[in-house]
Structure 1
Amino acid sequence: MPDPKQQSGVVDDPANIPPPSLGPPSTGNLVSDSFRSAGHIGQVPCARNSLLAGIASGVGIGFIRGMSAHPVVAGSWGMFTWAVISLTSFHFCTKRLEDQRQLTRLAIEKLPKQLRLKKEDDKESSSG
């Protein structure tokens, strides 16, 4: 029989909350897993925005550099900029998400204590 607490959305221990699915399950083959995961890149938190920021920056720097240098050099600058901006943006976004998850865990852990204290205060004020 299912637990009624689980159906109502109440979770006693935040550590028991499973992480979100980030794509298809692994088959063990690196090449096929990479191609299958590429189709699900939109499900990875922060990936889309990070890649778009990197693409925009890389195109911009590549175009500016291309005005004064050989196209191969400009392409190298663009690719380097894309990689650095995408990775940096992804890192900061995932860090921000992890900080938000930590605050949510703390709030979930403190909520039952606050409710117990409020119930005890209500009992004391009604009996006194």
Structure 2
Amino acid sequence: MSPRTSSRSPLLLAGLLAGAGVLHFAVPRAFDATVPRILPGEPRTWTYASGVVEFALAAGLAHPRTRRAAARATAGFFVGVFPANVQMAADWRHRPRPQRVAALARLPLQVPLVLWARRVERGVEGP
């Protein structure tokens, strides 16, 4: 990774997370439907909680002193929300083809997101 790409990558990832966090509050209903039913409580609580986590991770990635820990936590977060993507794919299996394709496409998308967060983690110099 070039130095220019390396310096932008954490901020791009932070922007992606912040944008997702905004969406969790702007259109929570869309996210409520992806909350695995096995989780306790109301789906909206999980939707808002994940939005708050995305904001916190974005802030951590944006600051060089917290970037490494935030990148590690971001990778874990992407792994942790994978069951929501599985839930969405299962729930949307009878929807129109474009929606089914979108839901299924989210599943393998988690892999490059996890790898991106790990690259950001490794790209940080110093403690």
Which gives a bigger RCO, structure 1 or 2 (Cα 8 Å, sep 6+)?
A: 2
* TM-score under structure 2 length normalisation: 0.29
* TM-score under structure 1 length normalisation: 0.29
Rg bigger for which structure?
1
